[in-house]
Amino acid sequence: MKPFAVAAVALTLMACLHTAAAEPRIIEVKKIWDRAPHNAFTDLIRYHGEWFCVFREGTKHVSNDGALRVLTSRDGNTWTSAALITNATADLRDAKIVITPDDRLMLNGAGAVHQPSPVKHQTMAWFSKDGRDWSAPVNIGETNNWLWRVSWHKDAAYGVGYNTAGPKLARLYRSADGKEFTPLVPMFFTQGHPNESTLLFQPDDTALCLLRRDNYAGTNVSASGQLGSARPPYTNWMWKDLGVKIGGPNFIRLPDGRLVAAVRLHDGKVRTSLAWLDAEAGRLTEFLKLPSGGDTSYAGMVWHEGLLWVSYYSSHEAKTSIYLAKVKVE
């Protein structure tokens, strides 16, 4: 073989190896909790050198005994229970956790109030300095408006609440202290049935909103996810249709600026997947399917020491359980 041919083959092999190495890949997936009959709806955070994973425990996907479990770990391998938050009059659902500007943990979830009652849902928040001792619950937002996830930006908390007992619409709320939330945009999104959403603030202060939208009887509105964007003061939003049905939406900005979304996908086999989110084009591109199926989704994500850590739940191994994946993204 001629020298230039050998060099060409070598370059081709190097390019193939580089491409293979650059593909995102799962380093490890581990089941970290399955003690309740049904374990679901997770979130994940790293705080003061510890991991905290929060989720709902209950008898079933929907049951009156829903409680919020808080797990903790020093190394991400061995997990122990730090707290269990219960409510005698409501099924606690969809735990979300964030660090406040004054360096406390803020946990929020919605209480599906036991019926009969004039109230269907009430979002609540709890606060802690160590993840083990939690404050009494604080009712946040308006009744029957499910404030699904709270995000802090420049000493203010923001969250999208969706109506659970009236017109199918979502509102954008703002709070200065994480306790008193008032509508910033009362008619935030009104097409179809908007519900679960996550807000992300870019370094230039642009806000992005990844929103789940369902359809409902009597309408022909698509059940496709939406991506909203706005500049301060976040009262004027532009929307792009992602063209795909999603559930449990969450996304994170990587150190290089790329956006990774974790969503439940419904096209064919139901699964929890990671996808690139192109905010300019309004496009989701799946790049990695997590081991999952059946009852699954609701991921938490943290970038730590060059890995993307992802908590999620799934029933692909028969029992609905909590999993933690470590993903290498070059």
- Report residue 217's pLDDT band, with 50, 70 and 90 as the boundaries: low
Pairing of strands 156-163, 170-175: antiparallel
For the segment 281-295, the average pLDDT, to the nearest whole number, is 97
Supply the pLDDT for residue 135: 98
SS3 at position 31: strand
- Report residue 9's pLDDT band, with 50, 70 and 90 as the boundaries: very low
DSSP 109: E
SS3 at position 208: strand
Name every residue whose Cβ is closer than 8 Å to that of residue 5 and which is 6 or more positions away in sequence. Answer: none
Q: Which domains can be identified in the chain, with CATH numbers?
A: 26-328 (2.120.10.10)
Alpha helices by DSSP H, the chain: 3-22
For the segment 115-136, the average pLDDT, to the nearest whole number, is 98
Supply the pLDDT for residue 220: 73
Residue 232 has pLDDT above 90, yes or no: yes
Residue 11's φ and ψ, nearest 5 degrees, are -65, -40
**Which pTM does this prediction carry?**
0.92
The two three-digit tokens of residue 293, written as one number:
């199926």
Residue 180 vs residue 1, higher pLDDT: 180
CA 153 from centroid of its chain's CA atoms: 17
- Report residue 218's pLDDT band, with 50, 70 and 90 as the boundaries: low
Q: How far is CA 223 from CA 31, 194, 196, 279, 282, in A?
A: 31, 9, 13, 19, 16
Pairing of strands 283-289, 271-278: antiparallel
Residue 11 has pLDDT above 70, yes or no: no
The two three-digit tokens of residue 55, written as one number:
């989720």
DSSP 135: P
Supply the pLDDT for residue 3: 45
| Apex 134 CA angle, 130 and 135, nearest 5 | 130
Render pLDDT for 20-40 as a digit per residue (tens, 0 to 9): 457 999 999 999 999 999 999
When the pLDDT of each residue in the chain is averaged and rounded to a whole number, the result is 93
For the segment 121-146, the average pLDDT, to the nearest whole number, is 98
